[in-house]
Amino acid sequence: MAALIEGRGLVKRYGGVQALAGVDISLRAGETTGLVGESGSGKSTLARVLLGLEGPDSGSLSFDGRPYDGLGAKGRAEFRRRVQIVFQDSAGALDPRMSVGLSVEEGLANLGLPRAERERRSREAFDEVGLPASRRDDYPHQFSGGQRHRIAIARAIVMRPDYLVLDECTASLDALVQSQIVGLLTNLGERLGLGYLFVSHDLNLIAQVSRRIAVMRSGRIVEEDEAERVIRSPRSNYAMELFDSMDCRP
């Protein structure tokens, strides 16, 4: 399967600190990849670079077989529609002065869709994430943390993307709500054909949801393969220590 997003030799520095040190990674449509590693390993930096939110200092990024730097305005607009992100801080991602319905429709408005179409698609998105469309006029503070995560997911899937980047998106939730959100994402992935990049330090979560796993350490991917192989018989000592510490092997 061809890569939807591909990074080759990605390097990113912040001052004198090298956050990415020559990363190679391929993300395929319809496939879930788990990106794991300790805090400070470069996971979130890599996610931002793969999303085009930050440019690498060197290396190349491609989207659907085309160099990202050569996409042009139309190609980058297509990239932003087809690749969406759900952040850990769902409350911070929603404007407290805007109804959640308008927040979900905001991306569609930027595409120039007429109001009736925006409303129809936002109602569908609310239904997809298990929230009543009748609450579209409510504001973020009127929802629980788990419900705000559902709204953030609705805001992403309303764009009809091919791929979602989930940056520690369940880290702030209790175990029950986290399980519900993971179940929702799994169901959406199957029904809508979505691919996911799960960025997390929670190895049990990564083991549960991922088809492939990439393990990061000090700005490098030290291991990447099918999830079952990485979990059962990691080749790198670092990956072995990580999975042993969490006892997440089947």
Q: Which domain holds residue 13?
A: 3-89+164-246
207 part of a folded domain: yes
* 155, part of any domain: no
User: Per-residue DSSP letters for 135-188?
Assistant: GTTS-GGGS-HHHHHHHHHHHHHTT--SEEEEESTTTTS-HHHHHHHHHHHHHH
Provide the pLDDT confidence category of residue 246 given band limits of 50, 70 and 90. Answer: low
Residue 205: which region, alpha, beta or left (left: phi > 0; alpha: psi -120 to 50)?
Answer: alpha
Asked if the structure places residue 82 within a domain, the reply is yes
Q: Token pair of 248, please?
A: 């997440």
Whether 199 is covered by a domain: the verdict is yes
pTM: 0.89
Task: Print the SS3 string covering 73-109.
Answer: HHHHHHHHHHEEEEECCHHHHCCCCCCHHHHHHHHHH
* Number of domains into which the chain is organized: 1
Mean pLDDT across the chain, nearest whole number? 89
What is the Cα Rg of the chain in Å?
18
- Which residue has tokens 């990447």? 224
Q: Is residue 171 part of a domain?
A: yes
Instruction: Name 87's Cβ contacts closer than 8 Å, sequence gap at least 6.
Output: 93, 152, 167, 169
Predicted pLDDT of residue 164: 94
Is residue 1 very low, low, confident or very high in pLDDT (cuts 50, 70, 90)?
low
For residue 80, what are the CA distances in angstroms to 73, 107, 116, 127, 242?
11, 10, 22, 23, 33
In a domain, 134, yes or no: no
pLDDT at 169: 75
**145 has pLDDT over 60:** yes
Confidence of residue 91 (pLDDT cuts 50, 70, 90): low
Question: Does the residue 96 lie in any domain?
Answer: no
**With bands split at pLDDT 50, 70 and 90, how would you rate the model's confidence at 167?**
confident
Q: What is the CATH number of the domain that holds 184?
A: 3.40.50.300
Q: Whole-angstrom Cα distance, residue 195 to residue 206? A: 14
What would the mean pLDDT of 59-63 be, rounded to a whole number? Answer: 95
If one counts every other C-beta atom within 10 angstroms of the C-beta of residue 109, the result is 12
The answer as to whether 154 is a domain residue is no
